[in-house]
């Protein structure tokens, strides 16, 4: 496994990779969710690139940029064991040198959900991911369902800007008690960690109601909110029911696939989770047909 931290070294190493290339952009502090993306890519491509970069541009002032978990030795061990060929670990200065002034803005699909709670977040994501696509020139880039709006935004951008690559969407990997794996879970105290599965429980409660025929978005949303309210440490940022393809809010009962999503604070840690209904759509094929599908 080769590790590079300059543009020149990356270009040389990229040129030396054989066959098709899968890329997995990450912010490091890797866990089983990242591993799942790498494994899918490994099964489908001759060569695998992982990028590790905590992108300052996607953090708003007051967010957790400085505290964001870092574990490069642990990350490299995981990636080596997973059979990765090339790791790119740029610094912020390398990605955004003095004088930098070019940005990528995706419009409507960034407006709701995370976009409305994290100003500038998707501008930072779209900009860095564009740069990483140009630098790594993958055949396929792998993203997690865990950040459902992110992958919808990136699909839109790839389609709008004619990037010559495919986007694969990998289902959310969870801990045994349902908590979605996340680098930010390391912030949780034991007591907060015990409370955190309530996000998954909220998804499950709405899923159960849906399976018994409930289609009223307001009721599904109430069920999620009530479940979260049972956990005194959970403070809701938002709970939302949206069209699974457009991510527009759904107000009327519908049989079209929907995305349930939420952001919830437990202590200072902001956790997000989501799920598609019907439940059978939470597979790679289902997700790829739905989230931000450019055909829509
Ligand atoms: P991050 O390092 O948090 O920016 O995540 C890098 C990639 O891993 C993104 O595409 C995430 O959606 C994905 N990811 C993060 N957590 C999970 C998870 N629990 N299951 C699947 N994918 C995940």
Q: How much distance in Å is there from the Cα of 216 to the middle of ligand 1?
A: 30
Given the CA of residue 172, which atom of ligand 1 is nearest to it?
20
Please provide residue 270's backbone torsions phi and psi, each rounded to the nearest 5 degrees.
Answer: -100, 120
Q: Is residue 146 within 8 Å of residue 180, measured between CB atoms?
A: yes
pLDDT band (50, 70, 90) for residue 293: confident
Given the CA of residue 29, which atom of ligand 1 is nearest to it?
2
Q: What is the pLDDT of residue 295?
A: 65
CA dihedral of residues 56, 62, 65, 67 (deg, nearest 10): 170
> Ligand 1 pocket check: which of 82, 144, 186 to mutate, most ligand atoms within 8 Å of Cβ?
144
pLDDT in tens, 85-115: 999 999 999 999 999 999 999 999 999 999 9
CA-to-CA separations, 154 to 141, 150, 226, 230, in angstroms, rounded: 10, 6, 32, 35
Find the helix packing angle between 32-44 and 72-81, rounded to 10°.
40
For residue 161, pLDDT over 60 is answered with yes
pLDDT in tens, 37-61: 999 999 999 999 999 999 999 999 9
- Whose tokens are 């953090």? That residue is 59
From the CB of 181, is ligand 1 less than 6 Å away?
yes
Strand partners, 270: 265
pTM summary value: 0.98
């Amino acid at each position: 496994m080769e590790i590079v931290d300059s543009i020149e070294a990356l270009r040389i190493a990229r040129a030396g990779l054989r066959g098709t290339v899968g890329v997995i952009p990450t912010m490091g502090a890797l866990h089983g969710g990242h591993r799942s993306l790498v494994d899918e890519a490994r099964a489908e491509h001759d060569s695998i690139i992982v990028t590790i970069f905590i992108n300052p541009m996607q953090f708003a002032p007051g967010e957790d940029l400085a505290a964001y978990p870092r574990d490069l030795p642990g990350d490299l061990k995981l990636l080596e064991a997973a059979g990765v060929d090339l790791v790119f670990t740029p610094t912020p200065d390398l990605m955004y040198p003095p004088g930098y002034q070019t940005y990528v803005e995706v419009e409507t699909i960034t407006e709701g959900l995370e976009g409305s709670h994290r100003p500038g977040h998707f501008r930072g994501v779209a900009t860095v991911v564009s740069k990483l696509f140009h630098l790594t020139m993958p055949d396929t880039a792998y993203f997690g369902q865990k950040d459902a709006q992110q992958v919808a935004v990136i699909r839109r951008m790839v389609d709008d800007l004619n990037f010559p690559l495919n986007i694969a969407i990998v289902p959310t990997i969870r801990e045994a008690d349902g908590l979605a794996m996340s680098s930010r879970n390391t912030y949780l105290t034991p007591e907060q960690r015990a409370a955190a599965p309530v996000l998954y429980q909220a998804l499950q409660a709405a899923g159960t109601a849906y399976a018994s025929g409930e289609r009223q978005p307001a009721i599904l949303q109430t069920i999620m909110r009530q479940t979260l309210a049972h956990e005194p440490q959970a403070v809701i940022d938002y709970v939302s029911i949206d069209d699974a393809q457009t991510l527009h809010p759904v107000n009327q009962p519908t049989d079209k696939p929907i995305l349930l999503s939420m952001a919830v604070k437990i202590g200072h840690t902001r956790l997000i989770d989501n799920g598609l209904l019907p439940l059978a759509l939470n597979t790679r094929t289902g997700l790829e047909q739905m989230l931000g599908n450019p055909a829509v």
